[in-house]
Amino acid sequence: MILLLIVFVPLLAALLILVGAPARRTAMAASALTLLATLAAFISFDTSATGFSHVTSLPISTEWRLNFTLGLDGLSLIMVLLTAIVLLAAVWFTGQIEQREHAFYACLLLIAGGAIGAFASLDLFFFYAFHELALIPTFLLIGIWGSGNRDAAAWKITIYLATGSFILLLGLIMLYRSVPEAARSFDLRVLQAAASAGQISAEAQRPIYLLLLIGFGILISLFPFHTWAPEAYASAPAPAAMLHAGVLKKFGLYGLLRIAVPMLPEGARYWAWLLIILLLGNIIYVGLVTIAQKRLDWMLGYSSVMHMGYIFLGIASANLLGVNGAAILIFAHGLSIALLFAIAGEVRARTGTLLLEDLGGLGKVMPLAGLAFGLGAFASIGLPGFANFTAEVMVFFGAFRNGADMNGFHLFQVATLLALWGVVISAVYMLRAYRAAFMGSIPERWAGLPELPRDLRVPIGLLVAALLWLGFFPQSFVRVLTPTFKTYFTATK
């Protein structure tokens, strides 16, 4: 029952708001209840058990073997926890909306509810359907409440993500049909068992994996399908950017870890070289583009795209250390980018601009904003003590180890050495932006800017505390994730 509560509370709250319930109070209550229920599930999670817990199933169609089935394992639990934390922070940062306030809060809850439903679904159909549900309010938030060239940004993200979803759908259909008819099912557990039994041939795996990689890759902003993300995040209201960059974009990464890699291992190995090339585009090329940005919001958008490359590297490593690091980095990046977009939104609300050359010295009049942005920046660049550092170290060691048994430098080892330069690149653009916006002399026109409200210390503290906890105690997540990944990969010491 607790999983039904976690999935449906945001969706029911969105419906209540649309029919007239108090928008902010209802959204706050729903997001707080969702987080509390998720924390209860996390605390009670049995790390020694294998398989899924809290499984709930409702038959939909006997003929099509379609069931509405929910369940949690270590990976999905981490993703749901990320969604619950970011949802509460996004709702808390929203404040008063001048127009269509009820619709705005309902859209935020629908994004979170769709993401949670996708992460918790054990049925392929609902896994896809919940994600599509979450995309609709994303377009509305940008097109109606966005800023700048919001119409172009809304259309661009719509076209890109609709294309990615269509390619993904083709790949999922091919995956379903690749299993012998007697064993066909939408249940992910049944498909995984069929794949483990060798019922999906290596020849069939290759085109299916390629379609899934491209489909999920577009949703994740894999190079060169990344150009929608910076413009969309720069135009989106801050809470929408927090939820999409912090949570919904991680759906594609979750899909690779849940479906593509474990069910299509031969396809993953066959196309590993392609993924390596593309992820280096995310890290090196997009990283250099990020350095050239003149606006804080565009810099954060490109930064989000760049950091996806590290997660791809962990997934491509295909060993326990690397994929554990990738999963933890998904969580860590979701928290840090949500915090950065939240503070950038507060700066834009007070100054009306995010051009770096127009800002400066804001830390003198907005010390809480300066501190929060600094902590988010330090986490993003992988400063020791934050979760991002722990995750990136695991990713780098896992990827480098992938080619350790080869003679000379292997593709993964070369890629790891190149990817390490991304750490330097991210430090350059993030510290440069922090200095330009919050340090130095303050222009006279910003001398009277108000500080952040005191109540915003709660969501800031929540995001920072989670980053620090996972940075100092990563084993708390590794224990939860390892039973899931052990069924896919061979543990290495």
pLDDT tens across 168-201, in order?
A: 999 999 998 888 877 788 888 888 888 888 888 8
Stated pTM of the model: 0.94
Average pLDDT over residues 315-332: 92
- Taking alpha carbons only, the member of 258, 244, 213, 251 closest to residue 75 is 258
Report the mean per-residue pLDDT for the chain: 90
Confidence at 493, pLDDT banded by 50, 70, 90? very low
Range of weakest confidence among 24-38, 80-94, 257-271, 438-452: 438-452
What does 214-251 look like in DSSP terms, one character per residue?
HHHHHHHT-TTS-THHHHHHHHS-HHHHHHIIIIITHH
Is 238 in contact with 341 (CB distance < 8 Å)? Answer: yes
Strand partners, 66: 61
117-130 residue pLDDT tens: 999 999 999 999 99
Q: Report whether pLDDT(403) > 70.
A: no
Q: Report whether pLDDT(317) > 50.
A: yes
Strand partners, 61: 66
Average pLDDT over residues 414-443: 92
Average pLDDT over residues 433-458: 90
Q: What is the pLDDT of residue 277?
A: 94
Whether the bond into 180 is cis, omega within 30 of 0: no
What are the CA-CA distances from residue 428 to residues 250, 372, 416, 434 (Å)?
Answer: 25, 19, 19, 10
Domain boundaries, the chain: 271-493
Q: Report whether pLDDT(33) > 90.
A: yes
303-312 residue pLDDT tens: 999 999 999 9
Q: What is the chain's alpha carbon radius of gyration, rounded to the nearest angstrom?
A: 21
Neighbouring CB atoms inside 10 A of 454's CB total 8
DSSP H or E run through 61: strand 53-61
Average pLDDT over residues 220-238: 92
Average pLDDT over residues 90-113: 91
Q: What is the pLDDT of residue 76?
A: 94
Strand partners, 57: 69
Backbone φ and ψ for 221, nearest 5 degrees, come out as: 75, 45
3-state secondary structure of 59: strand
Q: Report whether pLDDT(491) > 50.
A: no
Average pLDDT over residues 12-23: 93
Q: Report the Cα 480 to chain-centroid distance in Å.
A: 18
